[in-house]
């Protein structure tokens, strides 16, 4: 019969890392960054605490890795949602629904990870800012494909506006289980689409 230790060795590193991140995200969300214990994370994963330090270096490194994994997941979901859309309006709506769908599946950890990043340190804050910059660039690139005559600076500004609106609305959204991802996306669309629609008609 295989021992627990041999089972640990047989699990591929990438799979073990995903397991650690999933558990760490849960515990950070449940306890907050300061109260979260590396001992508890290790126990729930079923590994030794030194193994977690070997993978991530520190508790802050583990939090940063959680945020980075969420960042990659959000990017993949956003890009998949806008691919093949026929109009700027369809693409924006689909992208927004994807964003709020992602938040919906991470309701507890979304708010807490954002709040705890400031407590954890600069590296975590930088990773949060990286998410904002990533989504701004996705938006600007999306708008450019439908609004090729607009200056790059204006497209980037539109991207920033949408990211800022989404971030604030997400904080409101996670506290209201009765609001769906589609509802939240519709709110943003009503707020920003008139301005973008005017740009498509040449009225800037």
Tell me: pLDDT of 199 over 80: no
Give the residue among 105, 53, 172, 200 at the shortest CA–CA distance from 20.
Answer: 53
CA 105 to chain CA centroid, Å, is 11
CA distance 112 to 117: 8
* Cα 47–chain centre separation: 27
Q: Judge contact between 24 and 62, C-beta under 8 A.
A: yes
Angle, helices 59-82/88-105, rounded to nearest 10 degrees: 150
Q: Which domains does the chain possess?
A: 4-200 (1.10.357.10)
Q: Flag whether pLDDT at 6 surpasses 80.
A: no
How confident is the model over 24-49, as a mean pLDDT?
Answer: 91
CB atoms within 10 A of CB 145: 12
Report which of residues 137 and 118 the model is more confident about. Answer: 137
Q: What percent of the chain has a predicted confidence (pLDDT) above 90?
A: 42
| pLDDT range class, residue 204, cuts 50, 70, 90 | very low
Each residue's pLDDT tens digit, 145-155: 877 888 889 88
Q: What is the pTM (predicted TM-score) of this model?
A: 0.79
Residue-wise pLDDT tens digits, 167-196: 899 989 988 889 999 999 999 998 888 767
Which of 17-21, 38-42, 145-149 is least confident? 145-149
Mean pLDDT, to the nearest integer, of 42-69? 93
Closest CA to 110 of 121, 101, 123: 101
Crossing angle of helices 49-56 and 38-45, in 10° steps, is 100
Give the pLDDT confidence score for residue 62 in this predicted structure.
94
* Residue 85 φ then ψ, to 5°: -75, 145
pLDDT band at 2, cuts 50/70/90?
very low
pLDDT at site 119: 73
Banded model confidence at residue 201, pLDDT cuts 50, 70, 90: low
Tell which residue, 168, 165, 182, 161, has the closest CA to residue 114: 168
In angstroms, rounded to a whole number, what is the distance separating the alpha carbons of residues 33 and 95? 30
Residue whose C-alpha is closest to residue 32's, from 133, 104, 116: 116
Output the six-digit token pair for 107. Answer: 């309701």
**Mean pLDDT score of the chain, rounded to an integer?**
85
């Amino acid at each position: 019969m295989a021992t627990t230790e041999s089972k640990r060795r047989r699990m591929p590193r990438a799979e073990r890392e995903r397991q650690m991140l999933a558990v760490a995200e849960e515990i950070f969300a449940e306890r907050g960054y300061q109260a979260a214990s590396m001992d508890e994370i290790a126990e729930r994963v079923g590994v030794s605490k030194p193994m977690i330090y070997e993978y991530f270096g520190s508790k802050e490194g583990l939090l940063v890795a959680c945020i980075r994994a969420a960042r990659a997941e959000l990017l993949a979901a956003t890009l998949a949602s806008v691919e093949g859309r026929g109009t700027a309006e369809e693409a924006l709506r689909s992208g927004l629904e994807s964003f709020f769908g992602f938040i919906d599946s991470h309701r507890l950890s979304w708010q807490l990870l954002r709040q705890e990043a400031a407590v954890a340190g600069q590296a975590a804050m930088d990773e949060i800012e990286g998410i904002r910059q990533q989504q701004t660039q996705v938006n600007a690139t999306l708008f450019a494909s439908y609004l090729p005559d607009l200056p790059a600076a204006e497209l980037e500004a539109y991207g920033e506006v949408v990211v800022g609106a989404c971030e604030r609305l997400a904080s409101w959204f996670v506290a209201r289980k009765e609001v769906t991802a589609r509802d939240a996306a519709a709110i943003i669309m009503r707020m920003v689409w008139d301005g973008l629609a005017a740009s498509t008609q040449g009225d800037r």
